[in-house]
């Protein structure tokens, strides 16, 4: 006789070439952290993320009622930390209502990553809705260079958004800068000191060989070790350390004020798959266990049907597909080049 449990697993909407990715022997505890791409729309077209401004968008994005069911299921499944991403999450017309709903569910940590183009008008409403933290992606402080990297972005609007986030009381505000050799690697010190003057937390990221970034690594990669050497005069000579449960960034304190820090995120020179506790949800409702593959479980149908219980089962299956981080090297694997960062939230 067929085992009903096995038959049920076979019927679930799994995506991707699962046999190509080594899976963990045990799924371990349920996911504690999730990154949710509430939209794949974005008003920027950064060179390491999108091929152009005319690259098209996904069909079948989840609407807010379906997202509410998804969030309820994530909470039931054991998720404690939620980060909203995009695309650009602040272009979602109901982003404040989404944050308010998430806040009502009692997640321990509720954060959002944004390009800050819309943050000047939304910082206070988001704070009032219950958003805990905000990260801002900003790759340069030069307005001309900013327009080039983002393909048309307005630096003044972003800076106004950061000011509004400070005024709204968000803390810490983390700044994410993707460092590209020959593009903005000459701005490391400027960005560092600018951020520290405002008591912000700058973080410098290696470009990763994923999606459009795969085309840039050979010529433009600046390793975290190089970045730290360039900033050595401003930093304590100490080991860089992570914040437990808050992602892969490793932090070093400022020499002149140990209350200030800078973070470095590798992903290319040194992967961090072994400690990854993240699940991702795409804008179309696919549960993704890893940024660097297209593997996943499609939970859009139960989300639209208001069926949180079935999504919880899907989450368990997606988590069982998590790669074995002791041998899997994340975004340096060949599968990463074909993944869309914008579609699954980076």
pLDDT in tens, 18-68: 445 766 655 567 789 999 999 999 999 998 888 788 777 888 999 999 999
Looking at residue 19, its pLDDT comes to 45
The dihedral built from the CA positions of residue 205, 208, 211 and 213, taken in this order, carries a sign that is positive
pLDDT of 324 reads 74
Unique residue bearing structure tokens 């060179």: 47
Q: What is the pLDDT of residue 329?
A: 56
What is the C-alpha separation between 251 and 260, in angstroms, rounded? Answer: 10
| Cα–Cα distance list, 36 to 116, 121, 158, 293 (Å) | 17, 22, 22, 16
pLDDT of residue 14: 66
Cα–Cα distances (Å) from 124 to 106, 156, 235, in that order, read: 20, 19, 33
Position 314 scores a pLDDT of 97
Closest CA relative to residue 135, chosen from 100, 194, 88: 88
Instruction: Give pLDDT < 50 ranges for the chain.
Output: 1-10, 17-19
pLDDT of residue 150: 96
pLDDT attached to residue 6: 42
Burial class (CB in 10 A: 0-12, 13-18, 19+), 170: buried
| 86 close to 42: Cβ distance less than 8 angstroms | yes
Q: Which pair of structure tokens corresponds to residue 215?
A: 């085309």
């Amino acid at each position: 006789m067929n085992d009903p449990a096995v038959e049920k697993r076979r019927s679930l909407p799994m995506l991707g070439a699962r046999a190509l990715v080594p899976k963990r022997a045990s799924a371990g505890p349920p996911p504690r952290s999730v990154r949710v791409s509430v939209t794949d729309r974005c008003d920027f077209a950064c060179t390491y993320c999108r091929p152009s401004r005319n690259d098209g968008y996904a069909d079948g994005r989840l609407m807010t009622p379906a997202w509410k069911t998804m969030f309820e299921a994530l909470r039931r499944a054991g998720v404690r930390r939620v980060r909203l991403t995009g695309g650009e999450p602040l272009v979602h017309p109901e982003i404040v209502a989404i944050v308010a709903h998430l806040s009502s569910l009692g997640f321990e940590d509720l954060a959002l990553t944004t390009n800050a183009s819309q943050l000047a008008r939304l910082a206070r409403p988001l704070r009032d809705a219950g958003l805990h933290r905000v990260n801002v992606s900003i790759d340069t402080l030069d307005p001309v260079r900013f327009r080039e990297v983002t393909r048309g972005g307005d630096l003044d609007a972003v800076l106004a958004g950061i000011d509004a986030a400070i005024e709204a009381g968000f803390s810490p505000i983390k700044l994410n800068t993707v460092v590209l050799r020959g593009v903005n690697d000459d701005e490391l010190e400027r960005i560092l000191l600018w951020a520290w003057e405002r008591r912000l937390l700058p973080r410098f990221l290696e470009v990763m060989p994923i999606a459009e970034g795969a085309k840039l690594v050979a010529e433009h990669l600046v390793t975290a070790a190089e970045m730290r050497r360039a900033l050595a005069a401003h930093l304590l000579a100490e080991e860089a350390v992570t914040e437990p449960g808050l992602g892969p960034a490793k932090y070093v304190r400022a020499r002149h004020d140990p209350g200030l820090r800078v973070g470095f995120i590798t992903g290319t020179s040194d992967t961090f798959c072994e400690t990854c506790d993240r699940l991702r949800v795409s804008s179309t409702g696919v549960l993704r266990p890893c940024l660097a593959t297209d593997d996943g479980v499609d939970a859009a149908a139960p989300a639209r049907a208001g069926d949180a219980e079935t999504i919880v089962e899907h989450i368990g299956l997606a988590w069982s597909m998590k790669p074995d981080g002791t041998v899997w090297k994340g975004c340096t694997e060949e599968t990463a080049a074909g993944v869309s960062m914008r579609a699954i939230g980076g």
